[in-house]
Chains A and B, each alone.
Chain A
Amino acid sequence: MAEYAGLGAEFRERYRIVTDPAMIRAERSVIGGDYGASSYTTMEQADYLAQCLQLRPGRLLLDVGSGSGWPGNYLAASTGCNAVLSDPTLEGMAVAAQRSRSDRLATTSVVAYGDALPFRSEVFDAATSSDVFC
């Protein structure tokens, strides 16, 4: 918790406002989606990830530093894969989890740092991240 508290107010604030209509309008125009993107990965680049990682039903993806669920939730929606989204911000993962519930996606959101992933070894079929710091 001490580490989380020191993460940065800017990031926590960023994910608190990503669902604001003005933010969503901008994201739809720039990125092509409305998942609360906080990276520079466009829809076209996310589709490249899906192809490159051979995502499809039955495969399990890890999206590290997913922020508020982009592109992990989109990749699950567009390919049918299962996905675990991880990010150190509770606010971001709450937004991601809400979208997962509303869209009935096979994704799970986990609050975790990218250099201390709380998963067993050799679990995931693919991994991705977009503009993460570490």
Chain B
Amino acid sequence: MLRATHSVLKSGAGNCFYVISTKPGLTDADRRRLAKREGNEHVESPVPYGQLMRETGFIDVEVSDVTPDYIVTIRAWKSEWEADSDPLIELFGEEEFSRRIHNRILDISNAEDGLVQRFRAFGVKA
């Protein structure tokens, strides 16, 4: 996707994005733990995103770890859903609602333990 985005940008144009990525060097145990979450919202990147961007042709690359804010946002989603659960259970059904809350719990744990991180990355097309 980085290459496709790079291609359609004008020279000198910026690409600034947020991405949830696994930590480098996942072990089999890490993957089993991540697999407990139904569906996934992260990418597994073999190299750091800054390196990926430079290899794609972006310059002036800056990558910031915004995982603490990510954890706050996940907690907020969980709290809001639990506080307004009746209409959401009616919308999703009890089982699906519980599954989604459980996913939030796993996401918080995975982020707090460093298995996944959220980054803001910026680069300019040369």
Contacts and interface: CB of A to CB of B under 8 A. Distances in A.
A126 B81 CA distance: 34
Interface size class of A (residues with CB under 8 A): 35 or more
B8 A127 contact: yes
Contacts of B120: 45, 48
Contact of A122 (B9, B14, B118): B9
A41 B73 CA distance: 9
A64 interface: yes
A16 B75 CA distance: 24
A124 B19 contact: no
Interface of B: 1, 3-5, 7-11, 13-20, 39-41, 43, 66, 69-70, 73-74, 76-77, 80-81, 84, 87-88, 91-92, 118, 120, 122
Interface of A: 8, 10, 17, 20-23, 25-26, 29-31, 39-42, 45, 48-49, 52-54, 62, 64-65, 114-117, 119-134
